[in-house]
Amino acid sequence: NYQEVCSGMTGHTESVLVVFDPRQLTYRELLKLFWEHHDPAQGMAQGADVGTQYRSMIFTLTQKQAEEAQTSRQAFQQAMTAAQDQRSITTQISPAPQFYFAETYHQQYLAKNPGGYCGLAGLGICLT
Q: Tell me: the pLDDT tens digits for 12-40?
A: 888 989 999 999 999 999 999 999 999 99
Sign of the Cα pseudo-torsion (45, 43, 19, 8, in order): negative
What string of H, E and C letters represents the secondary structure of 47-111?
Answer: CCEECHHHCCEEEECCHHHHHHHHHHHHHHHHHHHHCCCCCCCCCEEEECCCCCCCCHHHCCHHH
Q: Of 16-20, 78-82, 83-87, 118-122, which range is least confident?
A: 118-122
Q: Are strands 92-95 and 57-60 parallel, antiparallel or unpaired?
A: parallel
How far, CA to CA in Å, does 43 sit from each of 26, 52, 57? 27, 9, 10
The pTM (predicted TM-score) of the whole model is 0.89
Q: What is the pLDDT of residue 119?
A: 62
Residue 92's DSSP bridge partners are: 57
Element at 45 (helix H, strand E): strand 45-46
